[in-house]
Amino acid sequence: MAPLTQLNEEEVMFRDVVRKFARTEIAPISKQMDEHAKLDPALLKKIFAQGLMGVDIAEEFGGQGGTFFQSILVIEELAAVDPAVSVAVDVQNTLVNNAIARWGTTEQKQKYLPRLAEDTVGSYCLSEAGAGSDAFALTASAKQVEGGWQIDGQKLWITNAAEAGLFLVFATVDSSADYKGVTCFLVDRDAPGLSVGKKEDKLGIRASSTCEVVLSGVRVGAEAILGEVGKGYKVAIETLNEGRIGIGAQMVGLAQGALDHAVSYAKQRKQFGKPIGDFQGVQFALAECAVEIEAARLLVYNAARLRDAGLEFVQQAAMAKYYASTIAENVASRAVEVFGGAGFSKEYPVEKLYRDAKIGRIYEGTSNMQRVVIAKHLLR
């Protein structure tokens, strides 16, 4: 296994291409997308054209044939410029694509993976009003009918819902079986009875759509089941374990972006006749940020490397997500302070990164849930 933060030549070249794309294509419109709370459709097409929505989809299905680690590099580099764009790409790669690649039949892979690599956004519909940390307390239900299944229910806080052409919908087929009654269905956006409702007006990552998804008598065939009937909990748990690494990468990228802005400003801003970066108080704050980011990056890269090597990574993924989301909030806050009054203004990007950071400790498993996972592995 390669040293944790050492990238091979191919990974360095790949990262640099993504970094250049983020800085030239995303940075100029990031503020505009945040203000309008909408992902630019033209940018989304460019992201697909770059192959960033199908990083580790096999080449035979139209993807890049890359590694999970490479998808983590993408998420990190995009987040350094705009975490809202990053999370849209993150959900596509670490949740939707991975779930279908692992659990899908040959026919499902042939039908959906080429679309997901080329032009179709995927959405992961698990959360409900009463199903957050208690992820399988689902009220969305699916019952067998002639020719397949009928799905009814309401999903909340669904990322990518506004743009999605494919929804992975988790519903209960047998409420008496508890979590073992949960099943995952592949539902196309144009399925009669599926509608995308209220879009949340969020504190941060505003360009990323977070919406209600309503399923009213949605009919699907038996071929729409991903995995097996009653095995939806396994689909969810295994993909969310990987998704935690993606969120960790997003938070590392966000923190790095905030630090880069703070360092640049500290070199330029003068007080008492010299750059504020010459003052020890500012230097110490920047140094602490750099240490925290490197530690978080080590955790994220380690979890991703373990996953690609086929080794146990669940505890490491929880550690990465927990720590990276914690330091992202801390680093973004310090960056605002380095900017002083200017940092409190929307004119500078650290204000946005500070808002964007908060969600890291909440979605795809709260910090408390990560502590539970880590402790269970310690005590096992």
Show which residues are catalytic: 364
Please give the structure tokens belonging to residue 366.
Answer: 């709260």
Specify the 3-state DSSP secondary structure of 79: helix
CA distances 158 to 124, 200, 244, Å, are: 7, 10, 16
Please give the structure tokens belonging to residue 218.
Answer: 């949605």
CA distances 149 to 103, 122, 141, 221, 238, Å, are: 19, 21, 10, 6, 24
Please give the structure tokens belonging to residue 108.
Answer: 């499902």
Buried-exposed string 44-65: b where 16+ CB fall within 10 A, e elsewhere: beebbebbbbbbbbeeebbbbe
Cβ atoms 349, 331 nearer than 8 A? no
CA distances 7 to 2, 80, 200, 363, Å, are: 8, 18, 38, 28
CA distances 97 to 30, 57, 104, 177, 259, Å, are: 26, 7, 10, 28, 31
Specify the 3-state DSSP secondary structure of 7: coil
